[in-house]
Structure 1
Amino acid sequence: MTQPKMPPAFSRLWTAATVSSLGDGAYSAALPLLAVLLDSDPLVVSLVTVAVLAPYPVAGLFAGALVDRWDRRRTMWIADLVRAVLLGLTVAAGAFGWLSIPVLLAVAFLLGTGTLFFDTAAQAYLPDLLARDQTLLRRANGYLRGASTAAGQFTGPPIGSFLFAVGKTLPFAVNALTYVASATLIRTLPPTPVPERAPGRSVWADSKEGFAYVVKDRLLLGLALRPAVGNLAFGAFGAVLVVFAKDALGLHSAGYGFLLAVEAVGGLVGAMVLAGPLEKWLGTGTALTVTAVIEGGAVLVFGLARDPWLAGAMFALCGCAMATTMVLGASLRQVVVPARLMGRVAAASRLVSASAAPAGAALGGWLAATAGVRVPYLAAAGVLVSMTLVTMSMTSNKRIEAALAKAKEATPVA
């Protein structure tokens, strides 16, 4: 059977995503380094990271409602240009000696807001670009996830650290240029229709509609709960990973970097190699259940491991399963959700998943401090497997097939 072909416009979207991910990776490495330079208090430094993520719980639903009212392609390139301007102002502030922690917090929050709008619009734009074809969407999300991992986790951070050593705000200038390049490419993409909406409705009413749509639909709720529980679990052990690597595995900075690298390699394999075959062999629902069980098992063995090589293999396996889950879940959501609600559903799902990570980090720190550095991993494994038992019926093959059939009936014939 002939595989459907990706439209030529997707290559431009992928290139834009790769270029901006490269800049994001450089920025993510340089931001905490600059924060430490301005104030060495760990709490203050952590607040800068929190500021980047804060827009998702604070304004995520409103962003989704606005994206569903606006031209999504235009929203993406404007978000890129706004972020480029913000980074340019940061470079100027550094040149004049005006940088401070309050300035950095404001910049981080505004950049996070721009990323929120860009990501939500991209999630809503992609199904229209690919005519809601599940195979194309799965491949596209795999390519985009792979680009984000390769450029944002492998290549970008070392470049950012090197550029920071050359000039403290140089990584920010480079990231600004990547956003300009991304905006230029996105402007060449074909426009998609702005969804129709009832006149006179408030943004708040639209936001509530999107959130209710996710909560009331068992399939969409299951797809949102899986990454939420994953973020809770991974937040719990990620918060103490550097301590675990040092105290339990006997690794120093290079070994810790190795752990992060093998997790990213696993993510690349899952997103770009395994997601498609696994979906074909098992069906989307069963594949999601299998990857969730693998995540829980890998985290359990990782938490019990004393050999760093075994720990590294389990971390790579966990990253592979995580990436596969994310690609399959996002692609399915983009097929079954109506175009008029896509921005709000994407934002609501992201809100549910993103809100769990800070709670997990706090829980992981508390468990490590009171019960030992291995306990967060054992607890995370238990949570992952337990929630799999809860959500497996919500995302079963039967339920997914029914949702796909309903979405196909609702799609206008071209």
Structure 2
Amino acid sequence: MALLTHPVFRRLYAAHIIHIIGNEFTFIAVVGLLHDLSGSGLSFAAGTVFRMLPYVLTSFFSGALVENWDKQRVMITVNLLRGILVSLFFFISSPAYLWVAFLLLILVNICSAFFQPAMQVAIVSSVDEKDRLTANSLLQGTTSFLIIVCQGVAAVLVYLFSYRYNFLLDAACYLLSLLILLRLPEMAISSESKKATSFLTRLQEGFRYIASKKEIGQVLMYQMAERVLGAYYIMLMFYILQERGEGLYIFGLLDIPLGLGGVFAGVLVSRMSDRLGERGVSGVQGWTLVAMGISIYAVFHIKPLLGLAVAILFCSFASYSASILSVTKLQRLADPEYLARVFSIREMATMGSFSASCLVLGYGAEKVGSAVVSVWLAVFGVVAGFIWLWSRRQLENREAEM
């Protein structure tokens, strides 16, 4: 692929791949550690909160700070800090230090909130607009493929050795990613005009900018709706383990269609959008929400496991397609000087809606059952999809009248 010959994107892509591999090793290891330290399922729920909430809150202001910082140094520093912090999990062995594990989760995710806006600015500044959809598709497709492969490898490593060694592997991945970024070619990213502007002023300008750009605001609302639907995953473990009485390995196997959906989206979305054009892409975005709603209903009402897996695959494909198209659209719509702020606010909005939805859906599933909650979520997806399609049609009519 021609993009992989691009000197900047090639290194960003390689660094991304390596740190995703490490993340998948850590995911299983953190679950094992929290279970060993507390012996309570509640600790995993708390771990989820400690991962998401710091990321959401830090994303509120990280973009405004990153704008005046060297993007390469930000990514290198973040990976150095994450490598050190993740390695410290290895040494936690006593329940008395459970609070340290939660603290490390918080610090790691605070660091991560600075990486995303820096990487988005690096991609936009170095990759031509015509190639960005392909770049985002490649990143998403590869990430989903790695989820499938690396979770399997991580499970084998946990079986053969202690899960604790996964923390050291993750730390090594962060440091290797750092070394790749050290040789990143110089990028032409100007921030001189903002150095005299205070942080609070830039933060306020970021929100005012989004408020003044109606289309950017609509894309953010769309992505928040998609993340609300994506929170169905939090119900899946409860549904599989409690309501269906299946083994934990079944839940693990269902991650395979989840990852495959992302792979298919990464491969097909760029080809599909080239043929459809802007109007067609907006239509696809609306129908992906409708498809997610219908798929979620199917997930919690189909009895055979094979049918359930197919429904998850279809829902995953729609979800990842929506994400790829939306990220590419934001990269195109946002002015370069506001890009970091737009993407940090996007992370805050999308992960915030995902976190809140996880809590609501998890509580609802426990009280009234997953099947009932899935109906509510399905209706929300269908309605949100048709509202998006209607709003696009209204925008097209106004443009035609002008």
Read off the aligned partner of 2:217 and give its amino acid letter.
Answer: L
Question: Which of the residues 271, 293, 300 maps onto 2:266?
Answer: 271
Alpha-carbon distance, 1:168 to partner: 4.3
CA displacement, residues 194-244 of structure 1 (integer Å, 9 cap, x when unaligned): 323345432122122212322332221221122212222332x32221232
Percent identity over paired residues: 19
CA contact (8 A) 1:224 1:352 kept: yes
- Cα 1:76–1:270 shift into 2, 3 Å: same
Give 2:284's match in structure 1, choosing from 280, 284, 287: 287
Instruction: Please tell me whether the aligned partners of residues 296 and 315 of structure 2 are also in contact (alpha carbons under 8 angstroms).
Output: yes
Q: CA RMSD in A?
A: 2.6
Shift of 1:263: 1.6
Match of 1:159 in 2: 153
Distance in 1 (alpha carbons) for counterparts of 2:257 and 2:297:
17
8 Å contact from structure 2 (residues 265, 317) kept in 1: yes
> 2:297 is matched with which residue?
300
Aligned twin of 1:77 = 76
Contact in 2 for aligned 1:90/1:99 (Cα 8 Å): no
> CA offset at residue 14 of structure 1?
1.3
How far apart, CA to CA, are the structure 1 residues paired with 2:270 and 2:252? 26
Structure 1 counterpart of 2:209: 213
Distance 2:109 2:195 in 1: 30
Counterpart pick for 2:251 among 249, 253, 256: 256
Aligned length: 393
- Report whether the alignment pairs 1:136 with 2:131: yes
Closer, same or farther in 2 for the Cα pair 1:196/1:289, shift >3 Å?
Answer: farther
Query: Structure 2 counterpart of 1:216, which letter?
Result: S
- Aligned residue number for residue 321 of structure 1: 318
Tell me what 1:352 maps to: 349
Give, in whole Å, the separation in 1 of the partners of 2:256 and 2:237.
Answer: 14
Residues 74 and 115, structure 2, Cα contact 8 Å, conserved in 1: yes
CA distance in 2, matches of 1:314, 1:208: 42
1:22 touches 1:156 (CA, 8 Å); kept in 2?
Answer: yes
Whole-angstrom distance in 2 between the partners of 1:146 and 1:349: 21
Q: Equivalents in 2 of 1:247, 1:48: separation in Å?
A: 20
2:373 alignment partner in structure 1? 376
* Deviation (angstroms), 1:296: 1.7
The residue number in structure 2 matching 1:233 is 229
**1:219–1:394 contact (8 Å) kept in structure 2:** no
- In 1: Cα distance, 2:392 partner to 2:78 partner: 33
| Corresponding position of 2:27 | 28
> Within 1, Cα distance between the matches of 2:148 and 2:82?
22
Gaps spanning 5+ residues in structure 1: where?
Answer: 403-414
Q: Distance in 1 between matches of 2:199 and 2:391?
A: 30
User: Are 1:60 and 1:347, in contact at CA under 8 Å, matched by a contact in 2?
Assistant: yes
TM-score normalised over the length of structure 1: 0.87
Matched-pair contact (CA < 8 Å) for 2:227–2:351: yes
Q: What CA deviation, in whole Å up to 9, does each residue of 1:93-112 have, x standing for no partner?
A: 348x6982111111111111
Q: Give CA-to-partner distance per residue, 1:31-90, whole Å, 9 cap, x none.
A: 111111111122233222221212222221211111111111221111111111222334
User: 1:123 maps to what in 2?
Assistant: 120
Q: TM-score, normalised by structure 2?
A: 0.89
Distance in 1 of aligned mates of 2:179 and 2:378: 44
Conserved 8 A contact 1:285-1:395 = yes
Please state whether the residue corresponding to 2:267 is helix, strand or coil.
Answer: helix
Output the CA distance in 2 between the equivalents of 1:48 and 1:243.
17
Question: In 2, are the aligned partners of 1:160 and 1:171 still within 8 Å (CA)?
Answer: yes
Question: What is the DSSP-based 3-state SS (H/G/I as helix, E as strand, rest coil) of the residue aligned with 1:70?
Answer: coil
Q: Measured at CA, do residues 5 and 45 of structure 1 come closer, stay the same or move farther in structure 2, by a change above 3 Å? A: closer
The structural deviation recorded for 1:171 is 1.0
